[in-house]
């Protein structure tokens, strides 16, 4: 006997993904999880070509934003030969050279100045977030 049908419905998981690149055709890192439980993903992917791939997939329950998540300051962005290794932090080339192929994957191809955004700058409605006070007010309002 399976227990899952006897349990109450699971709440929708809300996931924040910083650096949300695609992992294959019409798949993101949460595809397997989303097949098992309901979830909504807000992903931040600042590399334009990777962000465009994610948006083009049009996966329900996914919102992808082309922002650099950081401290709100202007920073340098190190775009590397492999998009997945691009970062606001400069790769440590001497250390990475000690590992097989890591130095090739993290070779800097472009450095640009970018404006970062703090995660709490996004409107709460986009993230589907309510503070405890907002939930309480909604509960009181629903009782008439």
- The H-or-E segment that residue 93 falls in is helix 93-96
For the chain, 144 residues long, the average pLDDT of each consecutive 10-residue run is 74 88 77 83 92 90 91 94 93 93 92 90 58 69 68
The model's pTM: 0.74
Pair of tokens at residue 126 = 């986009």
Domain span holding position 5: 1-66
In this prediction, residue 124 carries a pLDDT of: 54
- Domain total of the chain: 2
Indicate whether 113 belongs to any domain: yes
CA-only gyration radius of the chain, Å: 19
Question: By the 8 A CB rule, do 63 and 43 touch?
Answer: yes
Q: Quick one: 10 and 33 in the same domain?
A: yes
- The alpha carbon dihedral of 134, 140, 143, 144 has a sign of negative
Cβ-proximal residues to 103 (8 Å cutoff; 6+ apart), any chain: 93, 96, 97
pLDDT at 46: 93
User: What is the reported pLDDT for 51?
Assistant: 93
Rounded Cα distance between 8 and 10, Å, is 6
Any domain includes 60: yes
- Identify whether residues 61 and 83 lie together within a single domain: no
Give the pair of three-digit tokens for residue 102: 């890591």
């Amino acid at each position: 006997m399976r227990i899952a049908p006897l349990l109450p419905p699971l709440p929708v998981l809300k996931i924040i993904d910083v650096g949300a690149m695609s992992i294959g055709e019409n798949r993101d890192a949460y595809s397997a999880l989303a097949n098992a439980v309901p979830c909504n993903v807000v992903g931040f992917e600042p590399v334009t070509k990777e962000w465009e791939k994610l948006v083009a997939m049009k996966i329900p329950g996914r919102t992808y934003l082309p922002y650099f998540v950081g401290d709100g300051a202007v920073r340098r962005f190190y775009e590397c030969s492999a998009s997945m290794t691009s970062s606001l932090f400069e790769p440590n080339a001497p250390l990475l050279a000690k590992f097989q192929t890591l130095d090739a994957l993290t070779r800097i191809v472009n450095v640009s100045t970018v404006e970062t955004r703090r995660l709490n700058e996004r409107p709460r409605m986009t993230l589907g977030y309510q503070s405890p006070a907002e939930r309480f007010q909604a509960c009181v309002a629903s009782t008439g």
